[in-house]
Each structure stands twice: as C-alpha cells, then as structure tokens.
Amino acid sequence: MDQQQTPLYTALKRHDAIHPFSFHVPGHKYGTVFPIEAKNDYKQLLKLDATELSGLDDLHQPESVIAEAQSLAAKLYNVEETFFLVNGSTAGNLAMIFAVCGEKKKVIVQRNCHKSIMHALQLVGAAPIFLPPELDEDVRVASYVAYETVKKALELHQDAAALVLTNPNYYGMAVDLTEVVNIAHRYRIPVLVDEAHGAHFIIGEPFPKTAIACGADVVVQSAHKTLPAMTMGSYLHVNSSLIDKEKLKYFLQVFQSSSPSYPIMASLDLARSYLARLTKGDVENILKQIQRLKDALDEIEGIAVVHSQHPLIKTDLLKITVQTRSKLSGYELQQRLEQEGVFAELADPFNVLLVYPLAAIDHLEEVIEKLKRAFRGLSYSEELLNSFRSFSFLASANPISYKELETLPKKVVNLEKAEGFIAAETITPYPPGVPLLFIGESISKEHIEQIKQLKYHARFQGGKFLSSNQIEVYVPVK
C-alpha cells in the first residue's frame, strides 16, 4: 500500500472541485452561510466539512475511502485493524473497556490513568483493582507500574476481564510492556493500553517502544497530541484474538458521534501519511533542534531540564520537562512564559512541560530568546523543591462497587475532616487529567494534603465545594 496516498482527504478535495450545491447538512453549506466576521478564517476548512454523501463513505459502515484510509493506518502501525476516532481518545478508552467488561467484573487498572478510563469503569459498573505506580525521583511525578506489582495482581485476580495500562505518562515516560503483556496473556487476560501520547512511537529508536510492538491487544492514541491531526483526532488499534471486534465496533458507534467530522477524519488520513513520509534525516534534524533547545535552557540559572534516570524508563524526546531550581513554582514559571507569548502544555508544583513538534521549528533562535527573557533574573534555590512533597498513588480497590455506590446518600464535609470517608466526586487537576481522587475511593491523609497543595494553583475538574474547603462524600448505611 502506498503510504503517500490520502484517500479520504483526496475524495473531499475532489468533491469540492465540482463546486457542489448543498441541499444537505451541515447548515453552513460549505461555508457560504457563516458569520461575516469569521468567514475568511473558516472558509477553506468548511469546504471540506461534508457529510455521508456519495463517494465520501460512512465512518460507522466504511466501505470505500474511509475504509482505505483506516487500512493504510493499520498497515503503517502493523495491526489487524485501525479505527478513526473523532471524539478523542476518550471515545476509544470507553469503547475498549465496554467491549471487554461487564457489571461487577474485575478490571486491573493503573491508578494514574486518565479520567476517561475512570469514567468507563464507573459507567460499566466494574470492580476496579487499582495498581500504584512508581514515583519518579527525578521528575517527581508518578510514572509506570512495576512488573512485580502487575504480576502479583494478575496472580490474585486471574478472573479479571482486562488489564488497563497508561504508557507513556503525560511527561513522556514509557517502559517496555512486553513482559507485562506476556504474563497477562498467560491468563487469557487482554491488555488495553492508553498510549495517547505515543502515536509517533512507531518511528522507533530513539523513541520509546510502542505498546503495539509489545503485543498489547488494544492501543488508543491521540494523533492530535504529537502528529499533525486536528484536536479530537485519534486512532484505536486492535491486534488480538482476545477481543470481540464486533462488540468493539458496536461500542465505537455508541460512544462516537453519528455525525462525525470529515475535517477531523481527513486530518487523521493526512497525519498518517505525514508520519509515514518522515525520513531518517527529518528525524535527525528534529532531534538536533531539541538538543539545541535543551542546551540553551541548561544555561539558565534557576531552572533545569530533567528526565527520569530510572533504567527501565525511556523518555519521549518530544517531551521537555523544565524543573524549578528557584523559589518559583512550576505554575509561576508557566506564567512567566505566557508573558512572553510562549504557552507550555502544563505546569505542576515543580515543573513546566514543553511538547516539541514532530518537525523542525522555524526561527528556533527567536524562540530561545523568548525563553531566556521569560526566565531572566531567577536565582538558584532548592527551597521549593524541599518544601513540597510529591504525591504517590496508593494501591486500592473500591470498598464498594460503582453500582452499589449509587444507592448511598451523600453529604458535604470539611476537607480537613474527610479522612476515611468514601469520595462522592472525582477531583482531577487538568491537565494532565489524571484523577487525584476518584468516586468510590477512600480519602486518605495524602489526598487531603495534595488537594491543599494544589487548590490555589491548579485548575481542577470536579471538586465543586473546594472553594469553601469542603468535599462531597458518601454516607455509609449502617
């Protein structure tokens, strides 16, 4: 198959070339009906914003150009089948869990997973067994789940419906999952991997190993995170005899829009072609620029470029973590960057995360000058690093199933007095979207301390009573 081909994008361009008159949805009629102040900004894109017309195929019953585009992606990623996702990796995570799991079924899941994994488990009524990740001492964030931790969980819960892992984490820290996948398969347990940040890993060295090459059964990737795809454009790859593909296809239809965006799908087609056409020279130029940027940052007092030194962890080179060596927190460093017109992916108490493009940057030296101005005047200090504690996720299982939680009454209590209660709301710093506390989890002293640390700096999803220093909990029935 010719990876330079873009069958879906080409079909949309061919359709636009005949100057079609629209008596169909969407209502903007290829951009002819649109607010005048925005018409010029949107006009080219809206010409491609079509619907399921003759020659343009149907995402939920692909037979021509969408089927061809998905087949090209499957060929590139070396999987049995690839599905385009227009509702982000969230839709893929929901569909893969629903495809293998049922009410009250055990699911072994990495605790520092994305909130969409938690939502899927909650919606299906699963009985999750949460695995604690290791705490990386260099980057000071939760990273991977150790092989021995997974092995013990699989031995104790051989009837689990699935093992759900997140690899890499938001900071690009990944491990080789081959041994973990192999032991799960001994028990005929499918391995589902949220590889949202690893759509480019098939490039190979020096990038981490993709979960696909490790033998994972289903892998979900956010193409829009590191490939040139539109926001919400993602892939779901299947490579397994342990997955009911028809069931998976059904749930993809359930969780995805019945009016999928053609511009998003076409961007997935183009992103795959872009990735396939990257040469060794292209990758070398990108890596040289990344090193130039890191060298420049390392010359600035008050910050340090850090990555994990753990022997099992390989860090995605597109992820550049800048850690404070001053009295300023990661959030304050982020504010300084934004004052210079530089916008980072996220900040935490210690770090600012930069995501480099999968391309050489024009005017890199100008960008470096902006970074230098942003961090000018910082002085060395370990005070903040020593005063804040990194949060480690504990091993846990929901004391009651999600189904049973629905029957319990709720109340609001003071955050300081919430230890030991069962959380009735999920509290998630965003980004990265990893729940700090989830519905059904027993609230620990560590949870309370971490919420207190973050609540004046981080942007939370959930925690509607935190502004008054309160939290919603379940009231146990005696």
Q: Residue 79 and residue 73: Cα distance in Å, rounded? A: 9
Q: Residue 305 and residue 293: Cα distance in Å, rounded? A: 10
Query: How confident is the model over 15-25, as a mean pLDDT?
Result: 96
What per-residue confidence (pLDDT) applies to 114? 93
Number of H helices, E strands in the chain: 16, 19
Instruction: Report the candidate in 454, 387, 447 with the shortest Cα–Cα distance to residue 417.
Output: 447
- How many other C-beta atoms can be found within 10 angstroms of the C-beta atom of residue 1? 11
Task: Report yes or no: 418 and 471 within 8 Å, Cβ to Cβ.
Answer: yes
Q: Is 236 exposed, middle or buried (0-12, 13-18, 19+ CB in 10 A)?
A: buried
Query: How confident is the model over 248-257, as a mean pLDDT?
Result: 98
Instruction: Report the candidate in 364, 349, 361, 370 with the shortest Cα–Cα distance to residue 300.
Output: 370
What per-residue confidence (pLDDT) applies to 146? 97
Q: Which helix (H) or strand (E) holds 110?
A: strand 106-110
| Banded model confidence at residue 442, pLDDT cuts 50, 70, 90 | confident
3-state SS, residue 193: strand
| Banded model confidence at residue 464, pLDDT cuts 50, 70, 90 | confident
What per-residue confidence (pLDDT) applies to 397? 52
Residue 399 pLDDT greater than 70, yes or no: no
Show the domains of the chain with their CATH numbers.
7-277 (3.40.640.10), 280-387 (3.90.1150.150), 398-474 (3.90.105.10)
Task: Report yes or no: 87 and 164 within 8 Å, Cβ to Cβ.
Answer: no
Q: Give the Å distances, CA to CA, from 438 to 119, 170, 247, 429.
A: 10, 19, 28, 12
What per-residue confidence (pLDDT) applies to 65? 98
Instruction: Report the candidate in 460, 197, 433, 454 with the shortest Cα–Cα distance to residue 350.
Output: 454
User: Cα 61 to chain center, whole Å?
Assistant: 27
| Banded model confidence at residue 398, pLDDT cuts 50, 70, 90 | low
Peptide bond into 349 cis (omega under 30): no
Comparing 428 with 18, the larger pLDDT belongs to 18
Q: What is the pLDDT of residues 151-192, one digit of tens each?
A: 999 999 999 999 999 999 999 999 999 999 999 999 999 999
Q: What is the pLDDT of residues 264-307, one digit of tens each?
A: 999 999 999 999 999 999 999 999 999 999 999 999 999 999 99
What per-residue confidence (pLDDT) applies to 360? 96
Q: What is the pLDDT of residues 68-106, one digit of tens each?
A: 999 999 999 999 999 999 999 999 999 999 999 999 899
Provide the strand spans (E) within 159-302.
162-166, 173-174, 191-194, 218-221, 234-238
Comparing 201 with 468, the larger pLDDT belongs to 201
Residue 395 pLDDT greater than 70, yes or no: no
Q: What dihedral do alpha carbons 91, 94, 98, 104 form, nearest 10°? A: -160
Task: Report yes or no: 133 and 110 within 8 Å, Cβ to Cβ.
Answer: yes
| Token pair recorded at residue 346 | 């996220």
Q: Mark 42-64 as b/e (b = at least 16 C-beta within 10 Å).
A: eeeebbbbbebeeebbebeebee
What per-residue confidence (pLDDT) applies to 390? 63
Residue 339 pLDDT greater than 60, yes or no: yes
> For the chain, what is the mean pLDDT?
93
| Banded model confidence at residue 405, pLDDT cuts 50, 70, 90 | confident
Please measure the distance between the N-terminal and C-terminal CA atoms of the chain and give it in whole angstroms.
64
Task: Report yes or no: 304 and 325 within 8 Å, Cβ to Cβ.
Answer: yes
Residue 401 pLDDT greater than 70, yes or no: no
